[in-house]
Amino acid sequence: MTAVEPQAPTADAVEIGTTATKAVAGRSRIPWRFLGGRAAFYLFTVWAALTINFFLPRMMKGDAVTQYLARNRNVSPEAADALRALLGLDTDKSLWQQYLDYWALLLRGDLGVSLLHGLRPVTEVISQALPWTVGLVGFATIVSLLIGTIGGAIIGWRRGSKLEVFVPITTFLSTIPYFWLGLLAIAVFSVNLGWFPIGKAYGVGISPGWNAEFIGQVIHHGTLPALTIVIASLGGWMLGMRNMMLTVLDEDYITVAQAKGMPHKRVLWRYAARNAVLPQIQSFALSIGFIVGGTIVMEMVFSYPGVGKLLLDATNAKDYALMQGVFLVITLSVLIANILADVAYAFLDPRTRQTEA
């Protein structure tokens, strides 16, 4: 036999190999350009949000001191000027100087004092209201997300079955105004049946503490508002997941997985649901602001002492420091949630980790 002499690689083959090597190397490198761009975007977003947070309340007519003087007419002019100086509302300072003072205090972690709450630090006021909102609204949002996502995946997998009746029912319930749904729940389950208390976070005469009586009161008072939040938000999660499942099930890799004889549960959860859930993660990140900000209507209807009611009271009293503190917490919560959503998205979808060479 005649030995075949090896051929030298052509210029096109060398160019293709070099391009492939660069592409692999580009994917293996840490995407510093992507990370730097995201970091710059989030820093700019924080600056823009806090700047709007400063100027927007000051566009309102009146201020906290004016509101306070209207309720307390025996305050002397000297005391009123002292209050304005304490709250950073000095009339002898320009708006620009107040803005610089606002950033100087903010960088030191000082959010000011709340005139509405007896000159208490804003951080203290928010820290007392935040656990109530996160505990109630956060728990209810996570429960509705899990039920809606799992239910939507199963309904989408079994398209055309009787399970699809849950989609229009939950969608209809989500279109009902929340305040009406809350009032209806109070009328039925609190007034008529007497199963749940009408409002508040715990009963009168109960001292807060880590004991069985207080925890039981919190669960009992929070069950009805939590159920109304779950019912009101379940339709969106279920409909979104069901529609994404219908799109994913038409992909070729699902057909190939089924043709190979893979178990239906594995195809459903490891292939179809894993890709269909990606938009749900982004939606949940956006709903973090809803969790931290609280549902103002819900807290008004059920007289719940959360951040939403705190923000409403601060707006009515034009308490700039408290308004800015609540907006700051909401803004940072949404940004942190979006960062975590980006990380989770990259973990679930490896294609997002690939960058151009």
Place of tokens 């305050």: 75
pLDDT at 33 over 60: yes
User: Which residue in 278, 242, 258 sits closest to 157, CA to CA?
Assistant: 242
pLDDT at 73 over 60: yes
Mean pLDDT value across the chain? 76
Number of Cβ atoms within 10 Å of the Cβ of 357: 12
Place of tokens 């609540």: 326
**Domains (range + CATH), the chain:** 32-114 (no CATH), 128-353 (1.10.3720.10)
Place of tokens 């209207």: 70
pLDDT at 23 over 50: no
Percent share of the chain, pLDDT over 90: 1
Give the tens place of pLDDT for each residue, 292-351: 665 677 888 888 888 888 888 888 777 878 888 888 888 888 788 777 777 766 666 655
- Position 289 confidence tier, pLDDT thresholds 50, 70, 90: low
Give the tens place of pLDDT for each residue, 113-135: 887 787 788 888 988 888 888 88
Helix (H, G, I), strand (E, B) or coil at 285: helix
- Rounded Cα distance, 86 and 113, in Å: 8
Contact at 8 Å (CB) between 58 and 320?
Answer: yes
Contact at 8 Å (CB) between 58 and 324?
Answer: no
Which 8-state DSSP code applies to residue 267? I
Q: Which two tokens stand for residue 297?
A: 């209507």
- Rounded Cα distance, 151 and 195, in Å: 28
Contact at 8 Å (CB) between 264 and 279?
Answer: no
pTM of the model: 0.70
- Report pLDDT for 233: 84
